[in-house]
Amino acid sequence: MYDYLIVGSGLFGATFAHEATRRGKRCLVIDKRPHLGGNIYQERVEGINVHKYGPHIFHTNNKEVWDYVNRFVPFNRYTNSPVACYHGKLFNLPFNMNTFCQMWGVTAPEEAMAIIEEQKAEARTEMTKAGVSVPRNLREQALLLVGKDIFETLIKEYTEKQWGRPCHELPAFIIKRLPVRMVFDNNYFNDTYQGIPIGGYNKLTEGLLEGIECRTGTDFSCTDYRNWRNKARNLVYTGAIDEYFGYRLGRLDWRTISFRTHVCDTPNLQGNAVVNYTSHDVPYTRTIEHKHFEMFGEEVYRNPKTVVSEEYSSECRPGQEPFYPINDERNNALAKAYSSLAEREENVLFGGRLAEYKYYDMAPIIEKVLRLFE
Ligand code: UDP
């Protein structure tokens, strides 16, 4: 008899398994994919670690979490600084003095601030006319954050491609993730700690799951595991919550992403790990040149090849992999209804992006699991 059957070997499942095992509990981890690690899994192609399920950059302000992951594998000094491409013109992200200089030719923070304030004031007037004081959606939030020039060039079409909905139908919080800076600083995150595991994310998964019984290619939906109470005292479920309940209240909407990956006979194709394509004319949202997450300076040229993935975003149809929850009103209400059902399940813990229907980054997941064991 296991103490825990853990469904899903992503960061939630793997960290939970590690902490429970450390406390003398017997765990079995199953995953329906042919590998462990969930979306942080990487595949090695031409000597380069490819982020198979999209770019993952670890970042946190929490020293305890940072020290925790570094115990399994040391992290490098990668700093995320994506570049945006709008109809062939490049802009630095996040929105900072470099971006404002590229957008308006301004060189001083004061000049940039004056333009942004003027455009923000226009947005406020438009909202006041509509009798609105708090931004109701992503469009209003973005206009209040940076004004219309940046919204139209770097946000509107990218967001619509990524989410498949107009900006006024999306929740405001999505855009609050992005910083606005009046200094020349292209670091995408405000967190103190940031990096990529040296040697890749699989090392983190291997470290977390070392010595723990794991079965890949094993689906929870088959009867053997559905009747888990014969095998384990508790269940930790990290799959999609609507799937767990057989979609009995209806299906939650998700966005899925797919990748077209190419090996190129050049050491350095785009000069950056991430380029966002912020206009509609390009069908993918971004391109990822994987080597730049782990190779710096001359190292880039030591490997004569490079691997680049185009990332496409679309509505998740039955049978496809859910990636991003769509936290609009209908889906939030449905997720809440499912979570009430979840509360009534005995000896079952639901956790992670899919089970909680929440847009989680990696570090908060680890933080959450560590708290469960405090
Ligand atoms: N976003 C944008 N333009 C960009 C990058 C991001 O408008 O060039 C918006 C978009 O709505 C996106 C959100 O900011 O969904 C969050 O972006 P982030 O890069 O943090 O998302 P992730 O890497 O998790 O997909």
Give the model's pLDDT for residue 348: 98
Known catalytic residue: 359? yes
Give the model's pLDDT for residue 9: 98
Chain segment 269-294, per-residue pLDDT in tens: 999 999 999 999 999 999 999 999 99
Tell me which residues of the chain have a pLDDT lower than 70: none
Q: What sign results for the dihedral spanned by CA atoms 225, 226, 231, 234?
A: positive
Angle ∠(198,200,204) on CA atoms, nearest 5: 90
- Domain annotation covers residue 27: yes
Q: Which atom of ligand 1 is nearest to the CA of 82?
A: 8
Residues 68 and 100 in one domain: no
**Total number of domains in the chain:** 2
Centre a 10 Å sphere on the Cβ of residue 195 and count the other Cβ atoms it contains.
Answer: 20
Choice from 51, 158, 361 to test ligand 1 binding pocket (greatest atom count within 8 A of CB): 158
Choice from 85, 177, 180, 186 to test ligand 1 binding pocket (greatest atom count within 8 A of CB): 177
Which uninterrupted H or E stretch holds 7? Answer: strand 2-7
- Domain annotation covers residue 205: yes
Residues 160 and 214 in one domain: no
Known catalytic residue: 311? yes
89-92 and 83-86 beta bridge pairing = antiparallel
Residues 23 and 112 in one domain: no
Residues 163 and 213 in one domain: no
Range of the structural domain that residue 127 is part of: 95-176
Q: Which atom of ligand 1 is nearest to the CA of 361?
A: 24
3-state secondary structure of 168: helix
Give the model's pLDDT for residue 54: 97
Residues 234 and 340 in one domain: yes
Give the model's pLDDT for residue 328: 84
Chain segment 21-73, per-residue pLDDT in tens: 999 999 999 999 999 999 999 999 999 999 999 999 999 999 999 999 999 99
The CA-atom distances, in angstroms, between 305 and each of 34, 169, 290, 340 are 27, 42, 11, 51
Q: Assign residue 88 a region (left: φ > 0; alpha: ψ between -120 and 50; beta: otherwise).
A: left
Known catalytic residue: 361? yes
Known catalytic residue: 177? yes
Residues 221 and 334 in one domain: yes
Residues 223 and 335 in one domain: yes
Tell me how far apart the alpha carbons of residues 176 and 163 are, in angstroms, rounded to a whole number.
Answer: 16
- In one letter, which amino acid is 209? L
Residues 103 and 66 in one domain: no
Give the model's pLDDT for residue 178: 80
- Domain annotation covers residue 204: yes
Q: Which atom of ligand 1 is nearest to the CA of 276?
A: 8
The CA-atom distances, in angstroms, between 65 and each of 19, 73, 134, 351, 365 are 13, 13, 34, 18, 10
Known catalytic residue: 71? no
Pocket (CB within 6 angstroms of ligand 1): 84, 93, 154-155, 158-159, 162, 174-175, 177-178, 276, 278
- Domain annotation covers residue 90: no
